[in-house]
Amino acid sequence: MKKMVLSLLTVTVVSTAISASLHAQEYEVESGDSLWEIASVHDTSIDTLRTLNELDSDIIHPGQVLQIEEEEIYHQVERGDTLYDLAGEYEVTVLDLMNWNDLNSDLIIVGQELVIYPNAEAVDQGVEETPAQPASAPEETEEAEEVAASESDDNQSEDEQSSDQKTISMTATAYTAECDGCTGITATGLNLNEDRNKKVIAVDPSVIPLGTRVHVEGYGEAVAGDTGGAIQGNKIDIHVPTREEALSWGVREVDVTILE
């Protein structure tokens, strides 16, 4: 299918326009910055920035330190959650979630509490901070320990199964069907415009056959459903819903595990 390929150079240009990362609590104003540009990059509003920083106008100066966000929330991992799904839900990136929670991989477990720094839009959509849980009674504690032990056994069983699976180190870029002239139809006939959240990767069929189910580090479970002229050898192109997410992904070295 015809799709927009986003190069590492493009990502570099975008990211250097505002040098602070999206989850930063503070941002130091650089020459040429405007309040509108900072609000846009950090997914907030000019009014929010003015309120947080007690500004009487939109005038800012190089070297001035601005507060970007004022609160953090938490998410308790539930069965079926993935970092990629949570990143989409809270409108942040998988890399943000990994950095905020000191994660070395995209593996998360049921009951784990993750720190989330929401943007204004995510808060408006009803995302609420998970309240602190009261201390459990002895009976409840024992029950929780039994559940945790059961889940540990399940995870161990899954690990034993995964030891027989083939894992390949690959270079991963990202694309989206959200572009002028993009048909949204993959090489296997999947219509990505009808399901913008569908997890599909473009592959070199000589390395990963079309139709193969895989797990991509930092992306999650997906199907090899597309091809691309630049996707040859140990390269993949992951499908994401929007151009912004494709830019955020950039170019990464990831482990791709063949599931079936």
**Residue 216, H or E segment:** strand 213-216
**Residue 215, H or E segment:** strand 213-216
Token digits of residue 122: 């995510």
Report CA-CA distances (Å) from 253 to 26, 93, 169: 29, 16, 7
Q: What percent of the chain has pLDDT over 70?
A: 70
Q: Which of 20-24, 66-70, 86-90, 179-183 has the highest mean pLDDT?
A: 86-90
45: containing domain = 26-67
Which residue's structure tokens are 């997914």?
Answer: 43
* Rg value, the chain, Cα: 21
48: left (phi over 0), alpha (psi -120 to 50) or beta: alpha
User: Confidence class of residue 150 from pLDDT cuts 50, 70 and 90?
Assistant: low
Q: Is the pLDDT of residue 16 over 70?
A: no
252/190 same-domain check = yes
Report CA-CA distances (Å) from 30 to 36, 61, 67, 112: 13, 8, 14, 38
Asked whether residue 190 is assigned to any structural domain, the reply reads yes
Asked whether residue 239 is assigned to any structural domain, the reply reads yes
d(CA 179, CA 2): 10
61/117 same-domain check = no
Alpha helices in the chain (DSSP H): 8-17, 35-41, 46-53, 83-90, 94-100, 120-124, 138-162, 243-249
pLDDT of residue 233: 92
Asked whether residue 233 is assigned to any structural domain, the reply reads yes
Among 17-26, 210-219, 244-253, the minimum mean pLDDT is found in: 17-26
Residue pLDDT, tens place only, 43-79: 777 887 888 788 888 889 999 988 876 456 778 999 9
User: Confidence class of residue 171 from pLDDT cuts 50, 70 and 90?
Assistant: very high
110/186 same-domain check = no
Asked whether residue 2 is assigned to any structural domain, the reply reads no
pLDDT of residue 230: 86
192/223 same-domain check = yes
Give the side-chain half-sphere CA count within 13 A for 148: 8
Q: What is the dihedral of CA 216, 238, 195, 100, to 10 degrees?
A: 60
Q: What is the CATH number of the domain that holds 36?
A: 3.10.350.10
d(CA 116, CA 129): 9
Number of structural domains in the chain: 3
Residue pLDDT, tens place only, 71-129: 567 789 999 898 888 888 877 788 888 888 888 888 898 999 888 764 433 333 333 44
pLDDT of residue 159: 52
Residue pLDDT, tens place only, 190-215: 888 888 889 999 999 999 999 999 99
User: Confidence class of residue 223 from pLDDT cuts 50, 70 and 90?
Assistant: very high
pLDDT of residue 152: 56
3-class SS at 242? coil
Q: Which of 81, 67, 53 is nearest to 25 (CA)?
A: 67
pLDDT of residue 15: 32
Report CA-CA distances (Å) from 79 to 109, 208, 223: 8, 29, 21
78/98 same-domain check = yes
182/109 same-domain check = no
Region 139-150 average pLDDT: 55
Asked whether residue 4 is assigned to any structural domain, the reply reads no
pLDDT of residue 213: 92
Q: What's the whole-number average pLDDT of the chain?
A: 75
3-class SS at 204? coil
pLDDT of residue 169: 93
pLDDT of residue 86: 86
pLDDT of residue 72: 64
